[in-house]
Amino acid sequence: MAENEKVDDISKITVSAKVLGKIIGVGDRRIRGLAEEGILTKVSSGRYNLQESLHSYILNLRVANDAAKSQQDLEDELDYGLEKAMHERVKRHITELHYALMKGNVHKSEDVEAVMTNMLTNFKTKIMNLPSKLTPLLVDRSDKKYILELLTNEFYEALNELSNYNAGDFYSDDYIDITEEGKEEEMIFDVCEDDEDDES
């Protein structure tokens, strides 16, 4: 066959493993491996049908590429499902916390801080006022029993400032007193709807 001769049919052309390897960009060993896998068409010892081998090799690449895309699509879908489940879990946790806050079972840190600051300030004021309050009462007294009793009573009164607190002081503005039976379920439903509206 002359170098410049026009070829209309390559179905009968056979090439060596080395030539086929150069065409598709792999080494001789890979060519033999592809032939063993049935991807390349071997016609005789060390010779391969060019047309059938190229066709099979390209088809194999397409199938592998489609499989990789399908796997990636599946992984993306699984990731989406996982993310959706995680998102739903967070929404549920937020709803449960909001509901517990409404019932007064949990408290906002700023509410606790305000109540405790007020309570401790009142306690500190009472303790700091004890010397000026008790000095006139004790200045001329020598009766130890009276002094001990007076100091003990005043300290207990100051300590009562810490023990006498109203649990309602810790409730946030979101607190709702649930007294009617059946209202609780309605409120849970309303809270869930509010959370869904916030998402939109």
Per-residue pLDDT of the chain (200 residues; tens, 9 = 90+): 556 777 777 778 888 888 888 988 888 888 888 888 888 888 888 898 888 888 888 888 888 887 777 777 777 776 777 788 888 999 999 888 888 887 777 888 888 888 888 888 988 998 899 889 888 988 888 888 998 999 999 988 888 878 877 777 777 776 666 654 445 444 444 544 555 555 54
Considering the domain boundaries, does residue 152 fall inside one? yes
Domain count, the chain: 2
Question: Looking at the structure, do residues 103 and 130 belong to the same domain, yes or no?
Answer: yes
Pair (55, 85) in one structural domain: no
pLDDT of the residue at 194 = 53
Provide the residue count of the chain.
200
The residue type at 88: E
Cα dihedral: 74, 76, 80, 82 (round 10) = 70
Range of the domain at 31: 14-74
Instruction: Check whether residue 149 and residue 90 sit in a common domain.
Output: yes
**Reported pTM:** 0.41
From the centroid of its chain, how far is CA 126? 48
Are 57 and 139 in a shared domain? Answer: no
Look at residue 42 and give its three-state secondary structure: strand
Residue 59: which of 109, 24, 106 has the closest Cα?
A: 24
**Residue where a domain stops, chosen among 59, 74, 89:** 74
